[in-house]
Amino acid sequence: MMARKAGVFGAKRVSSAFRQMAKLYGRPVDEASRFALQPILKGAKANTPHESAKKALVLRKDRKAPKTQPTHEVGGDPKNPDYRLLHLLEFGTEPHVNAGRFAGTQHPGTDPQPFLTPAYEEHGNEAIKRFGQKIGPAVEKQAARLARKAGR
């Protein structure tokens, strides 16, 4: 009888299983993240008096993030031109000399008017709890959906 060589066996099957798991968790993570971040989005909109900022704030998925690490965020909608002003409201601006159309004129700067940071500080723990409440049922729902699909 010949002894079996030492080594790692089954790597292809394990890799395949992990790819299948990615299909199982992608949709539930998206659903749970959108559900969890709603209070922060509502809080940020409530914290700013600027209607244009309220319209520019959205919940979105970071499309550049790897599929194995889905990232969702509350921030500006690039389709809305006012999203470029959100950071200026949140953090303020220093006094500076203008460029472009108003070249050479002195801008006095603006005070910060934070709206997103207070919303995160107020609702951050709630978002974590909401994510935990939603992820389990969402995974079960996706598993049932995939099982039905595999049964066809």
Interval 16-58: pLDDT, tens: 766 776 667 788 888 999 999 999 999 999 999 999 999 999 9
pLDDT of residue 28: 87
**Could you report the per-residue pLDDT of 136-145, keeping only the tens digit for each?**
888 888 878 8
The boundaries of the domain holding residue 34 are 24-151
Asked, for residue 2, whether it belongs to a domain, the answer is no
pLDDT of residue 91: 96
**Strands 96-97 and 72-76, bridge-based pairing:** unpaired
Asked, for residue 117, whether it belongs to a domain, the answer is yes
Total Cβ atoms within 10 A of residue 32:
22
122 three-state secondary structure: helix
**Could you report the per-residue pLDDT of 74-133, keeping only the tens digit for each?**
999 999 999 999 999 999 999 999 988 889 899 999 999 999 999 999 999 999 999 999
Number of domains forming the structure of the chain = 1
Asked, for residue 10, whether it belongs to a domain, the answer is no
